[in-house]
């Protein structure tokens, strides 16, 4: 039987509040008081069932399942009784996800990436391919588009959608939209980085092609890519290349030929500096071109010391296009699957990651979702695992945290979601941002 919902406990937020005092934006718990049936030690809120959607319902690492619109948080979640994916909204007065009944993808075990551009909702949905099996043809990645009616607070699928992005399954697939209105998608296939874009409106996609830059081929079968639009007119793709022990970034200027990309930039390189963990974000209203990524290195597999960096924050210098790196967590912290949120109001970086509450059986071990933060202009993350924000005390199997592509502010707060494969449940945290 599903336990009652549990709220984020006040005691667990002591560190988070201290971080807010130091950095000017304190996350505080939202929602109702913990009900009597909550298990002692629970943090966060139990959500709908994921039964039938396969493992890691909130995966994959570069993808976003949530968005903010019209004063509410929304998500694409699995609807168990129909075995399809629906649009849900978060009732923050009860901290329950409410099914709108709007179907997105009717295929179970697909994974989505969500983009809200202020007018339309775009959802890319792909059949998952593991790094061991690789991409398979006949499993199309699809783009869905929805219009929003503010009067009824409902989404309606637009005529002519979905449309195919590619005809292959993939481990990940992400989308973004540049300033000229072109949609971009990226994924890896056959140990190469692939991209595609629209060529005549949202419903008309070109032929997928290999990213035409150095180091975008001869990857490990485990490598992935992610796309982001930034700086008012540019689109970037970041990918891991574990063969070269590097993370790379290439840029495209809006309005130019879709096959015209700048030379590859090395975001980070060195022995075991790459793994297949990327979450890529850009400040939406920042025309200067600041881009951030949170990644996982492979140093844990190389016998490095426990103090070696495992999770890194990468930051693009908008004046030069060069990248700098900063440690977020170390091998001893046992973090995995990091995602990033950008607080544009308080100029703060938030990183959410999985780790066991203590010890480190192996990197990638499920457990609790932890949070760390840093100011954007003086990047430095505190030592340790961070503040726990989602924990199932009776089943410490939380993993694969996800959130939105959008910037967050005091008006939106921060909602992050994870899933528990053992109990087959979504969980979420609702963190209100307030100034200290």
Cα pseudo-dihedral 128, 58, 118, 248, rounded to 10? -60
Percent helix, strand and coil across the chain, each to the nearest 5: 5, 45, 50
11-434 has which fold?
Answer: Neuraminidase (2.120.10)
pLDDT of residue 26: 56
Nearest partner of 63 among 111, 134, 132, judged by Cα: 111
* Nearest by Cα to 211 from 249, 170, 266, 161: 249
For the chain, the structural domain boundaries read 11-434
Buried-state track 216-235, b at ≥16 Cβ within 10 A, e below 16: beebbbbbbbbbbbbbebbb
Q: What pLDDT digit, counting tens, does each position of 305-314 carry?
A: 999 999 999 9
Smallest Cα–Cα separation from 39: which of 14, 6, 81, 72? 6
The answer, as to whether pTM is greater than 0.75, is yes
Query: Tens-digit pLDDT profile for the chain (436 aa)?
Result: 333 334 444 333 333 433 343 334 557 544 444 444 568 999 999 999 999 999 999 999 999 999 999 999 999 999 999 999 999 999 999 999 999 999 999 999 999 999 999 999 999 999 998 776 677 889 999 999 999 999 999 999 999 999 999 999 999 999 999 999 999 999 999 999 999 999 999 999 999 999 999 999 999 999 999 999 999 799 999 999 999 999 999 999 999 999 999 989 999 999 999 999 999 999 988 888 999 999 999 998 878 899 999 999 999 999 999 999 999 999 999 999 999 999 999 999 999 999 999 999 988 999 999 999 999 999 999 999 999 999 999 999 999 999 999 999 999 999 999 999 999 999 999 999 964 3
pLDDT for 288 equals: 87
Give residue-wise pLDDT tens across range 184-204: 999 999 999 999 999 999 999
Residue 174 is predicted with a pLDDT of: 98
Task: Let me know how long the chain is.
Answer: 436
Q: Residue 418: what pLDDT?
A: 98
Separation of alpha carbons 155 and 69, rounded Å: 11
């Amino acid at each position: 039987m599903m336990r009652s919902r549990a709220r984020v406990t006040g005691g667990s937020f002591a560190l988070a509040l201290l971080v807010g005092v130091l950095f000017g934006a304190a996350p505080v718990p939202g929602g109702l008081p913990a009900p009597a049936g909550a298990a002692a030690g629970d943090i966060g809120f139990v959500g709908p069932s994921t039964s039938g959607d396969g493992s890691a319902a909130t995966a994959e690492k570069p993808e976003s399942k949530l968005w903010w619109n019209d004063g509410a948080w929304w998500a694409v979640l699995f609807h168990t009784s129909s075995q399809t994916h629906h649009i849900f909204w978060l009732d923050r007065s009860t901290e329950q996800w409410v099914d709108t009944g709007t179907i997105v993808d009717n295929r179970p075990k697909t994974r989505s990436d969500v983009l809200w551009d202020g007018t339309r909702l775009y959802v890319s949905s792909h059949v998952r391919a593991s790094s061991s099996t690789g991409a398979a043809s006949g499993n199309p990645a699809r783009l869905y588009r929805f219009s929003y009616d503010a009067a009824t607070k409902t989404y309606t699928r637009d005529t002519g959608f979905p449309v195919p992005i590619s005809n292959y399954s993939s481990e990940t697939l992400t989308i973004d939209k540049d300033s000229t209105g072109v949609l971009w998608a990226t994924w890896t296939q056959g140990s190469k980085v692939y991209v595609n874009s629209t060529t005549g409106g949202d419903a008309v996609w070109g032929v997928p092609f290999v990213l035409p830059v150095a180091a975008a081929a001869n990857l490990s079968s485990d490598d992935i890519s992610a796309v982001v639009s930034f700086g008012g007119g540019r689109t970037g793709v970041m990918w891991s290349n574990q063969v070269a022990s590097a993370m790379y970034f290439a840029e495209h200027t809006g309005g130019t030929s879709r096959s015209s990309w700048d030379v590859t930039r090395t975001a980070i390189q060195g022995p075991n500096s790459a793994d297949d963990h990327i979450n890529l974000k850009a400040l939406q209203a920042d025309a200067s071109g600041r881009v951030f990524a949170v990644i996982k290195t492979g140093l844990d597999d190389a016998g490095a010391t426990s103090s070696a960096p495992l999770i890194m924050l990468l930051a693009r210098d908008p004046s030069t296009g060069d990248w700098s790196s900063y440690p977020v967590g170390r091998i001893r912290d046992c973090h995995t699957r990091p995602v990033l949120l950008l607080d544009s109001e308080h100029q703060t970086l938030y990183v959410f990651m999985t780790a066991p509450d203590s010890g480190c059986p192996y990197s990638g071990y499920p457990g609790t979702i932890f949070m760390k933060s840093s100011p954007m202009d003086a990047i430095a993350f505190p030592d340790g695992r961070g503040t726990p924000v989602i924990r199932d005390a009776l089943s410490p199997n939380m993993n694969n945290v996800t959130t939105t592509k959008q910037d967050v502010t005091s008006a939106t707060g921060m909602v992050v979601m994870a899933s528990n494969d053992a109990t087959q449940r979504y969980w979420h945290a609702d963190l209100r941002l307030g100034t200290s």
